[in-house]
Structure 1
Amino acid sequence: MTQETILANAKLILRDEVVTGCLKLNDGAISAIDTGASVPSGALDCAGDYLAPGLIELHTDNLERHISPRPGVAWPHSAAILAHDREMAGCGITTVFDAMRVGSIPSAKARYKKYARELSSEMLELRARGALKVSHFLHLRAEICSETLTEELAEFTPDDRVGIVSLMDHTPGQRQFRDIAKMKAYVMGKNNLSADEFAEHLAKLQGLQKRLGAAHEAAAVQECLRLGAVLASHDDTTVEQVATSAVHGVTMAEFPTTVEAAQACRDHGIAIIMGAPNLVRGGSHSGNVAAKDLAERDLLDIVSSDYVPAALLMSAVQLGEIWGDMARGLATATTNPARSVGLKDRGVLEIGKRADVVRFALDDHTPVARQVWSLGAQVA
């Protein structure tokens, strides 16, 4: 049970509009919404700052960054999870789907080792003890180009809070890594590989995809159904790939790499997710389609912070400015992701919804998160 909190004199970002008003939080839920700039006795004067629903992050690699802060460096999982959790809260993210790779390559020396089951168990244990500030779900990144995908997926059950399973195929020469030269620079830099080691890595991945790709993809689709999760595709590039995604039952497309693929997603009723860093930076680091181009074509539904947590709020505000509609912009990080994963209790400022709220101001168009509440309790 939480004490009543009154947030007054704020710009409330509602479902379809922004109004000046007052928000009351009681026992973990929004209990009242009033309009006007008055500040009731005992209320917090927000001085005209924005109040938005707590942000919902569907795909972040941030936890992986914490458990391995440098190539070859392993960090204690509990400490990494707690640090990641606090970083999410500080960025205004109150619901996060933590992306974890399933599907390893044990024969690739020190790279691509299994970790997801152990890390998930530790996450769930911390959650059960009340040690986490925000709401966590699992996003299993099913790596098609691997050796152990089916065995690793089988270790999870419907009780593990798996909300999303995404079909990942990082085979060189297609999807995200159509440009082998860009992939070479990225992989060699990230993993400190020599040119010969990269060539060996390239051949191994292409061989794995040829030998196991089709079976792994079919298994991942079936395991997603067993776990009761939402199925997502990743880096769709062609109309044909999107058509295959639709047949599999994909409802969300993460980071389509071309305008043609994004348009095909729209035609199939598949929600389009783009990376917030792509939007903030003005383009894709892999040389794929720019998120801004898709936004201007009305081919962007959801943003994901991907590898920069603070980018989620930045991108939603930026979209609000691009579209001239702050409510629509913020919906890409609140209402739309909530709808896409079936979370009906959050993602919008409405009476009865979870009291997940972020207060932010703009500093020369850059949002600054001032305070964050999760279930009515201040967490940042």
Structure 2
Amino acid sequence: MSAELIEGARVILDDRVEIASVRIEGGRITGIDVARDGAAVIPARGRILAPAFVDMHGDAFERQVMPRPGVMVPVETALLETDRQLAANGIATAYHALTLSWEPGLRSVDTGWRILRALERLRPRLTAENRLQLRWETFCHEAEPLITHALAGADRPALAFNDHTSSMLLHPDVAVQDRPFDQIDPYPVTPFDAPRFRKKMADQALRAHILPEDYVALLNRVWARRAEVPDHIARMAALARTHKAPMLSHDDSQAETRRYYRGLGATVAEFPMHERVFLAAREAGDAIVLGAPNAMRGGSHLGSPGAAQMIARGLCDILASDYYYPAMLGAMVRLHADRVAPLPVLWALVSLNPARAMGLADRGRIAAGLRADLLLLDWPEGQAPAPLRTWVSGRPGYSALPVVRRPEPALGGGPNA
């Protein structure tokens, strides 16, 4: 892999933004403001050079697999297209939030196996580093063989504990943000003839490609094995600990829920739903993840705490793409414009901090010796930024730069720290 020198960009470093040149060779950053030493020069004056994004929870790939409700396309085609979208949006490392559920269709274990096998076959052809977040529905015992196989693989996945079953059956008098700890008994269950519940079941059945009455019957059978769930959670957590896989819990609404999963080794709180969970997670030193669309849009579409507010209060460490890959860059734009924090602090939310939470010590910042996962941006002052080039371990993963070297454009310097 030939050496390149990205010359004269405004570089987002750990604690500042400064004009510098970054040299890369052999997949690594070999120096900042060092001699060219035979490297090919990439003129970057007037551009922004930043660490590429590390996305620890993205499920936008589901819309490639199922572009319309009930309509699925070949998995390899969907994943190749997803990979192109990742690179074009500056994402060098992506954890696909692969839901492993008891329901048929898109989020079934069968579909999970197809996606896992396709990623294994496609890995040599992919641009970004495509990993998995095993987004495990805790009532889905059938997922254990897949989880066991994935945890033993070369690209260590993350394991996220989800309980959308209890959430789905929550009594309508209880706000989802106040949902009690999943394992309390008795749990406040909705009447099955409630109009809101029936509408929800019809929507879920459409995704699962079965009739609503069949979906409700299936849900009843799954709920009947509730007593088995705690032991199964403990077994999966022990397996993840054996493989030193990072673990997360999803949509916690009670401090008790966060404490339970932390006790199993899940030290990442993903999308907490109430302030008490944020405070409990911060007190314990857990990493806290929110959605970049929340930050980009200025609030949660579910009524959960706003990302910008939580970042300003020191209660959010990581932003993930969630359901929209461009949101990682969009969140940086909105948060920077609103002066929530200096740009290097904001950028750590989408690069260094998720890398650390996932145990990836070789990426997430621009420093000599680290992986050359980089993002070059055209970001004129006061305008929307556009990715110009993404490097993944030094490889040019995406480029909108001209092939032939031309005079450097007179562009604005873009945001300052």
Normalising by structure 2, what TM-score?
0.80
Residue aligning to 2:377: 360
Q: Does the 8 A contact of 2:32 with 2:368 survive in 1?
A: yes
Query: Aligned to 1:80, what secondary structure does the other structure show?
Result: helix
Residue aligning to 2:351: 334
Cα distance 1:25–1:56, how it changes in 2: closer, same or farther (>3 A)?
A: same
Q: Does the 8 A contact of 1:158 with 1:226 survive in 2?
A: no
Q: Establish whether residue 229 from structure 1 lines up as the match of residue 245 from structure 2.
A: yes
Cα distance 1:195–1:159, how it changes in 2: closer, same or farther (>3 A)?
A: closer
Inter-partner Cα distance in structure 1 for 2:258 and 2:126: 37
Inter-partner Cα distance in structure 2 for 1:56 and 1:202: 37
Correspondence for 1:116 among 74, 88, 112: 112
Q: CA deviation at 1:26?
A: 1.2
Inter-partner Cα distance in structure 2 for 1:307 and 1:19: 32
Residue aligning to 1:26: 25
Residue aligning to 1:370: 388
Which shows bigger deviation, 224-233 or 328-337? 224-233
Correspondence for 1:125 among 117, 121, 126: 121
Q: Does the 8 A contact of 2:2 with 2:26 survive in 1?
A: yes
Residue aligning to 1:271: 287
Residue aligning to 2:129: 135
Q: Which amino acid aligns with 2:392?
A: S
Q: CA deviation at 1:99?
A: 1.6
How many residue pairs get aligned? The number is 372
Residue aligning to 1:91: 89
Cα distance 1:360–1:351, how it changes in 2: closer, same or farther (>3 A)?
A: same
Q: CA deviation at 1:115?
A: 1.8
Q: Establish whether residue 297 from structure 1 lines up as the match of residue 310 from structure 2.
A: no
Query: Aligned to 2:22, what secondary structure does the other structure show?
Result: strand
Q: CA deviation at 1:102?
A: 2.3
Which shows bigger deviation, 147-156 or 118-127? 147-156
Inter-partner Cα distance in structure 2 for 1:110 and 1:351: 42
Query: Aligned to 1:159, what secondary structure does the other structure show?
Result: coil
Residue aligning to 2:410: none
Cα distance 1:378–1:323, how it changes in 2: closer, same or farther (>3 A)?
A: same
Q: Does the 8 A contact of 2:9 with 2:45 survive in 1?
A: yes
Q: Does the 8 A contact of 2:109 with 2:142 survive in 1?
A: no
**Highest Rg: 1 or 2?**
2
Cα distance 1:353–1:154, how it changes in 2: closer, same or farther (>3 A)?
A: closer
Q: Establish whether residue 309 from structure 1 lines up as the match of residue 307 from structure 2.
A: no
Q: Which amino acid aligns with 2:280?
A: A
Cα distance 1:88–1:184, how it changes in 2: closer, same or farther (>3 A)?
A: farther
Inter-partner Cα distance in structure 1 for 2:286 and 2:44: 38
Cα distance 1:111–1:210, how it changes in 2: closer, same or farther (>3 A)?
A: same
Q: CA deviation at 1:199?
A: 8.7
Which shows bigger deviation, 206-215 or 80-89? 206-215
Query: Aligned to 2:237, what secondary structure does the other structure show?
Result: helix
Q: Does the 8 A contact of 1:92 with 1:358 survive in 2?
A: yes
Q: Does the 8 A contact of 1:104 with 1:112 survive in 2?
A: yes
| 1:172-226 superposed Cα distances (whole Å, 9 cap, x missing partner) | 2289676889887666446548996499279638825734432332232122123
Cα distance 1:202–1:218, how it changes in 2: closer, same or farther (>3 A)?
A: same
Q: CA deviation at 1:361?
A: 2.9
Q: Does the 8 A contact of 1:8 with 1:46 survive in 2?
A: yes
Q: Which amino acid aligns with 1:344?
A: A
Correspondence for 2:143 among 145, 149, 156: 149
Cα distance 1:138–1:210, how it changes in 2: closer, same or farther (>3 A)?
A: same
Cα distance 1:209–1:350, how it changes in 2: closer, same or farther (>3 A)?
A: farther
Residue aligning to 1:244: 260
Which shows bigger deviation, 220-229 or 74-83? 220-229
Cα distance 1:307–1:12, how it changes in 2: closer, same or farther (>3 A)?
A: same
| 1:321-349 superposed Cα distances (whole Å, 9 cap, x missing partner) | 43331001011111111111111111110
Cα distance 1:370–1:246, how it changes in 2: closer, same or farther (>3 A)?
A: same
Q: Establish whether residue 50 from structure 1 lines up as the match of residue 48 from structure 2.
A: yes
Aligned-residue CA RMSD (Å): 3.0
Inter-partner Cα distance in structure 2 for 1:350 and 1:21: 12
Normalising by structure 1, what TM-score?
0.88
Cα distance 1:183–1:200, how it changes in 2: closer, same or farther (>3 A)?
A: closer
Inter-partner Cα distance in structure 2 for 1:80 and 1:234: 25
Q: Establish whether residue 210 from structure 1 lines up as the match of residue 226 from structure 2.
A: yes
Query: Aligned to 1:287, what secondary structure does the other structure show?
Result: coil
Residue aligning to 1:70: 68
Inter-partner Cα distance in structure 1 for 2:360 and 2:4: 24
Kindly, what percent of the aligned residue pairs are identical? 28
Cα distance 1:287–1:226, how it changes in 2: closer, same or farther (>3 A)?
A: same
Residue aligning to 1:323: 340
Residue aligning to 2:365: 348
Inter-partner Cα distance in structure 2 for 1:287 and 1:184: 22
